[in-house]
Structure 1
Amino acid sequence: MPQKFPYEKASIVIAEAEIFGDKNTLARWGINQSTLWRWRDRRLSDPKLHENALLKTRMLLVDWQTDATRTLKTGLLRLNELIPQATANDAATIHAIAGACKIIGELKIASDALSEPAPYQSSERS
C-alpha cells in the first residue's frame, strides 16, 4: 500500500527553506536535498501542497515580524535605561544594543516596504 504524502511536513520544510535557506532547514529536519527538490517540484502541480506551503510561509513571516518588533522595543527600552546614567564602561553595551536596533529596524522597514502594494500611478502624462 502506498504511503500517504506528508503534506504537513513538506509544507513546513518548503516554507522554512524559503526563509532560512536549504542548508539550515535540511539539517534541522534531517532530510536530503533531493527530497526538498521533489517536494518543490510537486508543489508546482499540487494545489494542496502549494496552498499549505504558502500558509506556512506567511505564518513564519508574521512570527518573525512580531519577534522583531518585540526585540526592537526591548532594545530601545534598555537604551533609555542605560543612557541617562551611562559611564565609560557602558559604551560598548550601548553601542551593541544600538547596532542591533539599527539592523532590526532596517529589516522591518525593508519587510514593510516589500509587502506594501505599489503606489497608485496615473496613466496620464503631464
Structure 2
Amino acid sequence: MGSLYFLIIVIVAVIAYTLYNYFSQKRAVKTLTEEEFKAGYRKAQLIDVREANEFDGGHILGSRNIPLSQLKMRMKEIRPDKPVYLYCQSGMRSGRAAQMLYRKGYKDLYQLQGGFKKWTGKIKSK
C-alpha cells in the first residue's frame, strides 16, 4: 500500500512540474507560425540553439549558433533591447532557452513553431 501512495505522489509531482514548465514557457515566449516567423526574423536577432554539428548540417539563412548548452556563458552576445527569434530542431530547446533569457530580463522573445524540421524557407549548409 505504501508503494502505491509513493507512485501516486511521483505521478502528481511529474504532472505538476510539466504544467509549471508549460505555463512559464507560455509567459516567456510567443510561438510563431513559419509565416509569422519569416515576417519578423530579419529585423531581429535570429538564434539557433542547436549544437554546432546540427547547425553545420543546415540552418536558417542569417542565424547565429548559440547552443543551449553554452547559452549562460554567451548571453552577453544577445542584445536585450532587440527582439530575439529562437529555434531548435523541434521547439523544446528553444523554449528552454527562452525561459533562461526571460529570467535574465529579455522580454521580446519568439520561437519557431515545430522548429527547424518544419522549416521550408531558405537554409544554408556547411
- TM-score using structure 1 length: 0.29
The structure with the larger Rg is 1
Higher relative contact order (CA 8 A, sep 6+): 2
- TM-score using structure 2 length: 0.29
